[in-house]
Amino acid sequence: MNKMVIVWILNLILFNIKLNADSTEFYRLPYEQPIIRVNSYTSQINSKNCTFQITYPIIESIGSEISETNRAKINKYLKKLFFDARSFNNDVACNSKFRKVDLAYYMEVDYFITYNKGNYLSLIYNVTGYKAGAKEPSITKRGITFNLKEGYTILFDDLFSKKTGYRMNIETIMLESLIQKEFIAVESDFDRYRKKSYEYALFDTDLGIILDSKKEKEIFLKIPYSSILKILNNELFLN
């Protein structure tokens, strides 16, 4: 076997190794086009000592994949979700016996879409409250994901196969990421972030998990799907 053939074979092997490594490292959700268009609407509500500015999404079908019934149901759910955010971190409580001496309170609710492809819509909504005289605003971030075709929300646990012991797997990855990013120093510190159900959002190549939304130390982890492929719910994401 001459040297040129050997070099060609070695290059082919190296190419295949790189190709396999890339496919493992960068898994992308297998959807290309959205089936909906999302419009934003803003309402301002003045209630006693409080002012609320709420920007919320309304979805419009751009294909036959989502039924009008499900579109209406999801829109109703989203509007209620965003308007109910008026109770988040609202220690002023819009005093029912409002007096001029009561502290003013201002809240903004808005959102950004993290994923809108195939049957799935995922977004993060931000609730920021400003109380007169406070040094810092109060901030809450939450995630919501819909299966548009079926018309229901997807909870965090629904993302994973129940046969895989997924909880231990995903929390181990979260723990390692928190230590690596120096949010925590030791494993026991993770207990204060451990939750029954995590706030999350879908991205093209990552699962975003919201652990803490405080302005001074926001903790938002992005976990590559490639590191959790074995525990994902195949019926949702791998078809």
Domain residue spans in the chain? 31-154, 156-239
pLDDT of residue 90: 62
Strands (E), the chain: 36-47, 50-61, 105-117, 120-131, 138-147, 152-153, 199-202, 206-212, 219-224
What the block records as the tokens of 93 is 């409580």
- The total of other beta-carbon atoms located within 10 Å of residue 123's CB is 20
Are the CB atoms for 221 and 174 separated by under 8 Å? yes
For tokens 């109703």, name the residue: 76
Q: What pairing do the DSSP bridges indicate for beta strands 50-61 and 36-47? A: antiparallel
The domain made up of 31-154 is a member of CATH 2.60.40.1110: no
- Comparing 31-154 with 156-239, is the CATH topology the same? no
Cross-strand bridge partners of residue 209: 200, 221
**Residue 194: partners with Cβ closer than 8 Å, 6 or more residues away:** 171
For tokens 């001496």, name the residue: 101
- pLDDT tens per residue, the chain (239 residues)? 554 444 333 343 343 433 344 444 556 776 777 778 899 999 998 877 888 999 999 998 766 778 888 999 999 999 999 998 887 766 655 655 666 667 788 889 999 999 998 889 999 999 988 887 778 888 889 999 999 888 899 999 999 988 778 888 899 999 999 999 888 898 888 898 888 889 999 999 999 999 987 756 789 999 998 888 888 887 766 54
* 3-state percent breakdown (helix, strand, coil) of the chain, nearest 5: 35, 35, 30
- DSSP, res 15: H
List the 120-131 sheet strands across, edge first.
36-47, 50-61, 105-117, 120-131, 138-147, 152-153
Q: How far is CA 229 from CA 4, 29, 48, 64, 196, in A?
A: 39, 11, 51, 30, 22
End-to-end Cα spacing for the chain: 44
Using DSSP, state whether 235 is helix, strand or coil: helix
**Backbone angles phi and psi of 211, in degrees to 5:** -100, -30
The reported pTM is 0.80
The domain made up of 156-239 is a member of CATH 1.25.40: no
Q: Kindly report the CA angle at 77 between 73 and 78, in degrees rounded to 5? A: 120
pLDDT of residue 11: 43
